[in-house]
A and B are shown apart, each in its own frame.
Chain A
Amino acid sequence: MIESFKHLEELARDRDLADVFLEADEQEHAVPADMILEALRKRRAVMRDCVERGKAGDGPSMGKLVGQEARLLAAAFNSGKTFLDPLTVKAELYALAVMGENARMGVIVAAPTAGAGGVVPGMLLALEEERHIEPETTVRALVVAGGIGSIIALSANISGAAGGCQNEVGVASSMGAAGVAYMMGGTTRNCVHAAALALKNTLGLVCDPVGGLVEVPCVKRNALFAVHGLTAAQLALAGVESVIPMDEIVEAMVRIGRSLPRGLRETAEGGLATTETGTAIAMRLKEEANQRRAERAAERERLAQERKAGAT
Chain B
Amino acid sequence: MAIRHDRKVSILDVMGPVMVGPSSSHTAGTARLGRVAREILDEDPVDVHFFLHPPLAATYRGHGSDFALVGGSIGLNVDDPRIPEAIRIAEQMDVNITFSEEDLGEVHPNSVRIETRGANREVQIVGSSIGGGVIEVFNINGFQTRFKGDSPVLLLFYRDRPGMIAEVAKTIADEGINIASLYCSRKQRGKDAFMEVDVDSPLSTAGLQRICALEDVADARYLDKIP
Contacts and interface: CB of A to CB of B under 8 A. Distances in A.
Interface of A: 1, 3-4, 21-22, 25, 28-31, 36, 39-40, 42-43, 46, 61-63, 101-115, 117, 120, 142-143, 145-147, 149-150, 153-155, 157-162, 167-168, 175, 211-215, 247-248, 250-251, 254, 262, 265-269, 285, 289, 296, 299-300, 303
B163 to A, nearest CB: 29
Given A105-B83, A108-B21, A109-B15, 14 more contacts: A43-B18, A103-B22, A105-B21, A106-B21, A109-B19, A114-B27, A117-B21, A117-B24, A155-B4, A265-B109, A267-B58, A268-B58, A289-B61, A303-B91
Smallest CB-CB A-B distances: 10 pairs: A159-B131, A102-B21, A146-B15, A146-B11, A149-B14, A110-B24, A158-B131, A214-B22, A113-B24, A114-B24
Kindly name the residue among A63, A117, A251 whose own CB sees the greatest number of chain B CB atoms within 10 A.
A117
A161 B55 contact: yes
A115 B3 contact: no
A162 B11 contact: no
A63 B64 CA distance: 11
B25 interface: yes
Q: Which of A28, A42, A160, A214 has the most C-beta atoms of chain B within 10 angstroms of its own C-beta?
A: A214
Interface residues of B, number: 51
B191 interface: no
B27 to A, nearest CB: 7
Given A104-B21, A157-B131, A150 B14 contact: yes
Interface in B88-123: 91, 108-110
Nearest to B56: A161
Given A31-B10, A150-B9, A250 B1 contact: yes
A257 B5 CA distance: 20
B104 to A, nearest CB: 14
A115 B130 CA distance: 14
Given A25-B10, A146-B11, A113 B18 contact: no
